Structure 1
Amino acid sequence: MKKYWAFGAAALLTLAIAGCGSSEDGSSTSSSTEVKTENTSKEATSAATQTITYLDKEYSVPAEINNIAAASLESMEDAAMLGIKPVGVLQVGGAIPTYLEQELAGAQLIGDKMEPNAEAILALKPDVIIGSSKWGEDVFQKMNKIQTAIPYSHISTNWKDNLTLLAGLAGKDEEAKQIIADYEEKATDLKTKASEQLVDKNILIIRIRGGLMYIYPEGVYLNPVLYEDLGAPVPEVIKAAKAQAEITLETLAEVNPDAIFLQFETTENAEASQALEELQSNPIFSSIKAAQNNQVFVNVIDPMAQGGTAWSKVKFLDAAAEKLLQ
């Protein structure tokens, strides 16, 4: 396996990115990597560069990529899926997230997800920084002073573009193609079964954050697996969501779902550590069909999973099929 520790310099790129809210019309565009290699002057003492195209934007990076800083949880999940060893990764609770620690062992910690530590990243001399589309412009300005920072999409429908980008940078193109092909084949097989068993089912994916319940639009988080890949009917409350949206107990009771996938991560509920238990014991929650029929599934995949990555989709497709399909 190729290791990603060597240093390669690249021309800096200035990039302005909008704020960190979810863009819900983030439909996937075809991803391609166009390589345009240039030998810069000896006076500039710069290495050869390549221009890559990702989600219709161009980025200049070194022609040879050995040292990748995975500065987003989404890119960390895809790196784990592809067998890539980034030189730097984000921390959660002062360590590599538990669900990725084996695959990403040995990487240096470079700060938290909303604003990674610029000094820590600089010390690693990255060839490219895989950031997040959730970052603000100020974060990108800091990162681009170090090396080209690419805004890895957090929109679930861009998962193939993301995986293809990272694979192309790391020389893992064939691995990415196989992951995508395997997923699509399995999803197609399961969708046939789901079309019969889920046709009249009302199913929600709910994430507890800060002690509150949140839902997402059908193209965000884990929802595309359920509503697109498996073909479950999209509830009206999901159709109405334009971004991450709180759902109250009263609204949940009105929806009265047949099944609920409930995700609860302790680090996202530091001030409400008992929120899950309190919800499950609440009389209103206990009265809905999902609870009555033991169809509330808690953390079927790791609650830190970002949703819109190959890792998340593969894991959740298997878990959803196991719980919902006979």
Structure 2
Amino acid sequence: MKKLYLSALAVLMTGAIMTGCAKSESPAPAAASAASEATEEAANPPSSVTITHTLGTAEVPVNPKRVAVLDYSILETIDFLGAAPEIIVPKTHLPEYLKKYKDDSYADAGSLVEPDVEAINEFKPDLIIIGGRQAGLYEEFSKIAPTIYTSVEYTDFWNEFERVNLMTAEIFDKKQEAESKIDQLKTQAEEIHKAAEESGKKALVVQTNDGKISAYGPGSRFGIIHGVLGITPVDDTIEVSKHGMEIGFEYIAEKNPDLIFVVDRTTVVGGSDVATKTLDNDLVNNTTAAKDGKIIYLNPATWYLSGYGLESVPMMLTEVSDALK
């Protein structure tokens, strides 16, 4: 009898243990389900993505087949990422480093300032990408196709640079590639910042426009030189405005910068007085920058026409880095 009782007790204990094991393993089906969903999502990626930008929100197809790109910075990022949609692009003043898009295999959208809306409509794009120069046409373009706005706020350049490039990369399913390049550029920028601090040099950034001169300081369209790369401005009271603060040669002589960075708009849009001619006078030639050979003529194609893509920013960082050597 005692033996029978012990056998029954053993059976009951075994059952309890088995029940406990079953309860402790109960999350396994949920984990398996989550893994299954992740695998399914990888096998069947979303066909569209919701993009929120400064001017609104748009439902955008992933890897769109036909794209109107009216922002050279984004064009170069698409190029860098290896995405290959059919493209219509403004060919007037197209930068040299993007010259492949001058080929007849790419449709012409006119110019950045005056895009050919009719040609874009006839192209029947799946997506339209616009920059600051076309902001006023946002509503009109949105009637043609989903439209996103990719211009940046220069007062927060680096975060804005990351935002628009990762947004573009998400559309073309290339986010990992973009993140890797941005991390690389961030490291390079930090190295330049350190070199700038150690140099102790002060700089003036100017844009010349057919004989006229404007100064740009921190927070401006060329403010990356000061804010991100750490070169001290020779004048920290330069007012931030779209076209810079108008200055004369006497101002340059008075401030006497160690470095003068020059963006020559004339060579891009046309005119008779290029920067080298404009700045060739005694007041400028007697500055420390001129005497030390540190008047740096930046590439206006990257600094003026684009300036925040994954191909232009590396070139811009290299130019500033070289100026500090």
TM-score bucket (shorter structure): 0.7 to 0.9
Shift of 1:203: 0.7
Shift of 1:260: 1.0
In 2: Cα distance, 1:152 partner to 1:129 partner:
11
The farther-off stretch of 237-246 and 204-213 is 237-246
How does the TM-score come out when normalised to structure 1? Answer: 0.74
Instruction: Check 1:242–1:118 CA distance in 2 against 1; reply closer, same or farther (3 A cut).
Output: closer
Q: What secondary structure, in the 3-state scheme, does the structure 1 residue paired with 2:198 have?
A: helix
In 1: Cα distance, 2:280 partner to 2:71 partner:
35
Instruction: Check 1:315–1:90 CA distance in 2 against 1; reply closer, same or farther (3 A cut).
Output: same
Letter in 1 for 2:228: D
Q: Where does residue 40 of structure 2 map in the other structure?
A: none
Shift of 1:305: 4.3
In 2: Cα distance, 1:56 partner to 1:149 partner:
10
Instruction: Check 1:79–1:212 CA distance in 2 against 1; reply closer, same or farther (3 A cut).
Output: farther
**Mapping of residues 293-308 of structure 1, within 5 Å:** 293-300=292-299, 302=301, 304-308=304-308
CA deviation profile, 1:164-221 (whole Å, cap 9, x unmatched)? 1111111211111011010011222332233211x3x211222222431223342333
CA RMSD of aligned residues (A): 2.6
Q: What secondary structure, in the 3-state scheme, does the structure 2 residue paired with 1:150 have?
A: strand
Runs of 5+ consecutive residues of structure 2 not aligned to the other structure: 1-46
Q: Where does residue 183 of structure 1 map in the other structure?
A: 185
Instruction: Check 1:57–1:269 CA distance in 2 against 1; reply closer, same or farther (3 A cut).
Output: closer
Letter in 1 for 2:96: T
In 1: Cα distance, 2:281 partner to 2:123 partner:
49
Q: Where does residue 275 of structure 1 map in the other structure?
A: 274
Q: What secondary structure, in the 3-state scheme, does the structure 2 residue paired with 1:101 have?
A: helix
Instruction: Check 1:220–1:306 CA distance in 2 against 1; reply closer, same or farther (3 A cut).
Output: farther
In 2: Cα distance, 1:183 partner to 1:189 partner:
10
Tell me how many residue pairs correspond in the alignment: 271
**Conservation of the 8 A alpha-carbon contact between 1:190 and 1:230:** yes
Letter in 2 for 1:209: N
Q: Where does residue 155 of structure 1 map in the other structure?
A: 153
In 2: Cα distance, 1:51 partner to 1:177 partner:
19
Instruction: Check 1:252–1:241 CA distance in 2 against 1; reply closer, same or farther (3 A cut).
Output: farther
Runs of 5+ consecutive residues of structure 1 not aligned to the other structure: 1-47
**Mapping of residues 127-206 of structure 1, within 5 Å:** 127-137=126-136, 139-156=137-154, 157=157, 158-197=160-199, 199=200, 201-206=201-206
In 2: Cα distance, 1:68 partner to 1:132 partner:
14
Q: What secondary structure, in the 3-state scheme, does the structure 1 residue paired with 2:311 have?
A: helix
Shift of 1:76: 2.1
Letter in 1 for 2:149: P
In 2: Cα distance, 1:324 partner to 1:259 partner:
9
How does the TM-score come out when normalised to structure 2? Answer: 0.74
In 2: Cα distance, 1:219 partner to 1:194 partner:
18
CA deviation profile, 1:275-299 (whole Å, cap 9, x unmatched)? 3243232221212221122111123
Instruction: Check 1:228–1:234 CA distance in 2 against 1; reply closer, same or farther (3 A cut).
Output: same
In 1: Cα distance, 2:76 partner to 2:290 partner:
31
In 2: Cα distance, 1:69 partner to 1:238 partner:
40
Instruction: Check 1:281–1:63 CA distance in 2 against 1; reply closer, same or farther (3 A cut).
Output: closer
Q: Where does residue 233 of structure 2 map in the other structure?
A: 234
Sequence identity (%): 24
Instruction: Check 1:183–1:50 CA distance in 2 against 1; reply closer, same or farther (3 A cut).
Output: closer
Higher relative contact order (CA 8 A, sep 6+): 1
In 1: Cα distance, 2:320 partner to 2:63 partner:
40
Shift of 1:266: 4.0
**Conservation of the 8 A alpha-carbon contact between 1:92 and 1:112:** yes
Does residue 1:211 correspond to 2:201, yes or no?
no
Greater per-residue helix proportion = 2
Letter in 1 for 2:100: Q
CA deviation profile, 1:92-136 (whole Å, cap 9, x unmatched)? 25xx43221137754211011123111111222211100013334
Q: Where does residue 121 of structure 1 map in the other structure?
A: 120
**Conservation of the 8 A alpha-carbon contact between 2:48 and 2:59:** yes
Shift of 1:56: 8.8
Letter in 2 for 1:58: T
Letter in 1 for 2:83: I
